[in-house]
Amino acid sequence: MTKPEYAQTIQETLTATQTQADSGLTTAEAKQRLEQNGPNALASAKKKSMLRRFADQFKDFMIIVLLVAALVAGLVVHEWADAGIILAVVILNAIFGVFQESKAEEAIDALAKMATPDAHVRRDGNVVTIPSTELVVGDIVLIEAGDVVPADLRLIESANLKIEESALTGESVPVEKNVETLQGDNVGIGDRANMGFMNTNITYGRGVGVVVATGMQTQVGQIATMINTAKETTTPLQDNLKALGKTLTIMILVIAAIVFGVGIWRQAASVPEMFLTAISLAVAAIPEGLPAIVTIILALGTQKMAKRNALVRKLPAVETLGSTEIIASDKTGTLTQNKMTVEKVYYDGQLHDAKDGIAGGNLLMTVMNFANDTQIQPDGTMLGDPTETALVAYGQKQHFDLDAELAQMPRVAEVPFDSERKLMTTIHQLPNGRYLVATKGAPDQLLKRAFQLAFGDHANAMTEGNRQDILNTNKELATQALRVLGMAYKVIDTIPATVDSDSVEHDLIFAGLVGMIDPERPEVQAAVAEAKAAGVRPMMITGDHQDTAEAIAGRLGIIEPGDDAAVITGAQLDEQSDDEFSDNVEKYSVYARVAPEHKVRIVNAWQKKGKVVAMTGDGVNDAPALKAADIGIGMGITGTEVSKGASDMVLADDNFATIVTAVEEGRKVFANIQKSIQYLLSANLGEVLTLFMMTMLGWDILAPVHILWINLVTDTFPAIALGVEPTEPGIMKQKPRGRKSNFFSGGVGPAVIWQGLLEGGLTLGVYFVAITWPVHATNAAIHADALTMAYATLGLIQLFHAFNVKSVHQSLFTVGLFRNRAFNWAILASFLLLAVTILVPGFNGLFHVTSLALSQWGVVLGAGFLIIVIVEIVKFVQRKVAK
Residues 137, 19, single domain; the answer is yes
Q: What is the CATH number of the domain that holds 436?
A: 3.40.1110.10
330, 544, 618, 654: which one is catalytic?
A: 330
Q: What is the DSSP letter of 217?
A: G
Q: What's the CA gap between 732 and 665, in Å, rounded?
A: 10
pLDDT of residue 277: 67
Residues 465, 563, single domain; the answer is no
Show Cβ contacts of residue 219 under 8 Å, excluding neighbours closer than 6 positions.
152, 168, 189, 197, 198, 213
Does position 409 have pLDDT exceeding 70, yes or no? Answer: yes
Q: pLDDT grade, residue 222 (50/70/90)?
A: confident
Q: What's the CA gap between 447 and 449, in Å, rounded?
A: 5
The verdict on residue 83 lying in a domain is: no
Does position 596 have pLDDT exceeding 70, yes or no? Answer: no
Q: pLDDT grade, residue 86 (50/70/90)?
A: low
Percent of the chain at pLDDT exceeding 70: 87
Task: Write the DSSP string, 70-136.
Answer: HHIIIIIS--HHHHHHHHHHHHHHHHHHHHHHTTTT-HHHHHHHHS-SEEEEEETTEEEEEEGGG--
Residues 364, 412, single domain; the answer is yes
Closest CA to 144 of 133, 136, 155, 134: 155
Closest CA to 372 of 389, 356, 355: 389
Report angle CA 116, 121, 123 to the nearest 5 degrees.
140
Q: What's the CA gap between 282 and 688, in Å, rounded?
A: 8
Q: Which of 243-247, 638-642, 696-700, 726-730 has the lowest mean pLDDT?
A: 638-642
Closest CA to 22 of 150, 194, 140: 140
pLDDT of residue 259: 77
Residues 114, 212, single domain; the answer is yes
Residues 506, 527, single domain; the answer is no
Q: Where among 660, 688, 723 does a domain terminate?
A: 660
pLDDT of residue 48: 65
The verdict on residue 52 lying in a domain is: no
pLDDT of residue 557: 93
Show Cβ contacts of residue 683 under 8 Å, excluding neighbours closer than 6 positions.
714, 715, 756, 759, 798, 801
The verdict on residue 104 lying in a domain is: no
Q: Which of 199-213, 241-255, 665-679, 681-695 has the lowest mean pLDDT?
A: 241-255
Domain count, the chain: 4
Q: Which of 323-327, 477-481, 628-632 has the lowest mean pLDDT?
A: 477-481
pLDDT one-digit tens code per residue, 90-139: 676 667 556 545 543 443 344 444 444 688 999 999 989 898 889 999 99
Residues 697, 564, single domain; the answer is no
Report angle CA 434, 436, 438 to the nearest 5 degrees.
170
The verdict on residue 85 lying in a domain is: no
pLDDT of residue 875: 92
pLDDT of residue 775: 82
Closest CA to 736 of 538, 530, 534, 537: 534
pLDDT of residue 104: 35
Q: Where among 629, 660, 691 does a domain terminate?
A: 660
Q: pLDDT grade, residue 204 (50/70/90)?
A: confident
Residues 460, 546, single domain; the answer is no
Q: What's the CA gap between 134 and 30, in Å, rounded?
A: 8
Does position 600 have pLDDT exceeding 50, yes or no? Answer: yes
Q: Which of 206-215, 753-762, 839-848 has the lowest mean pLDDT?
A: 839-848
Task: Give the residue-averaged pLDDT of 514-539.
Answer: 92
Instruction: Report residue 413: phi and psi, to 5°.
Output: -160, 165
554, amino acid identity: G
The verdict on residue 448 lying in a domain is: yes
Q: What is the CATH number of the domain that holds 187?
A: 2.70.150.10
Q: What's the CA gap between 561 and 541, in Å, rounded?
A: 17
**47 φψ region: left (φ > 0), alpha (ψ -120 to 50), beta (else):** beta
Residues 810, 862, single domain; the answer is yes
Task: Give the residue-averaged pLDDT of 212-221.
Answer: 88
pLDDT of residue 115: 44
Residues 647, 737, single domain; the answer is no
Residues 749, 629, single domain; the answer is no
Closest CA to 684 of 722, 721, 710, 723: 710
Task: Write the DSSP string, 123-162.
Answer: ETTEEEEEEGGG--TT-EEEEETT-B--SEEEEEEEEEEE
Does position 349 have pLDDT exceeding 50, yes or no? Answer: yes
The verdict on residue 475 lying in a domain is: yes
Task: Give the residue-averaged pLDDT of 805-830.
Answer: 87
Q: What is the CATH number of the domain that holds 560?
A: 3.40.50.1000
Does position 663 have pLDDT exceeding 70, yes or no? Answer: yes
Residues 695, 780, single domain; the answer is yes
pLDDT of residue 100: 44
pLDDT one-digit tens code per residue, 4-32: 899 999 999 999 999 999 999 999 999 99
pLDDT of residue 756: 93
Report angle CA 267, 708, 700 to the nearest 5 degrees.
30
pLDDT of residue 797: 95
Please give the radius of gyration of the chain, using alpha carbons only, rounded to the nearest integer: 36
pLDDT of residue 233: 56
Q: Which of 6-10, 61-65, 166-170, 448-452 has the lowest mean pLDDT?
A: 61-65
Q: How far apart are the two ends of the chain, measured CA to CA in Å?
A: 68
Residues 821, 866, single domain; the answer is yes
pLDDT one-digit tens code per residue, 242-285: 677 677 777 777 877 887 887 787 776 667 667 766 766 776 67
**Quick check: 513 and 474 in contact, CB under 8 A?**
yes
The verdict on residue 390 lying in a domain is: yes
Reduced to 3 states, what is the DSSP secondary structure of residue 354? helix
pLDDT of residue 646: 76
Q: What is the CATH number of the domain that holds 724?
A: 1.20.1110.10
pLDDT of residue 621: 67
The verdict on residue 24 lying in a domain is: yes
Active site residue 715: no
Residue 626, domain extent: 317-337+521-660
**Quick check: 172 and 225 in contact, CB under 8 A?**
no
Show Cβ contacts of residue 207 under 8 Å, excluding neighbours closer than 6 positions.
142, 143, 144, 155, 157, 158, 159, 161, 177, 196
Burial class (CB in 10 A: 0-12, 13-18, 19+), 222: middle
Query: How much is the mean pLDDT over the chain?
Result: 84
Report angle CA 524, 528, 531 to the nearest 5 degrees.
135
Q: What's the CA gap between 785 and 769, in Å, rounded?
A: 11
Q: Where among 517, 550, 575 does a domain terminate?
A: 517
Reduced to 3 states, what is the DSSP secondary structure of residue 639? coil
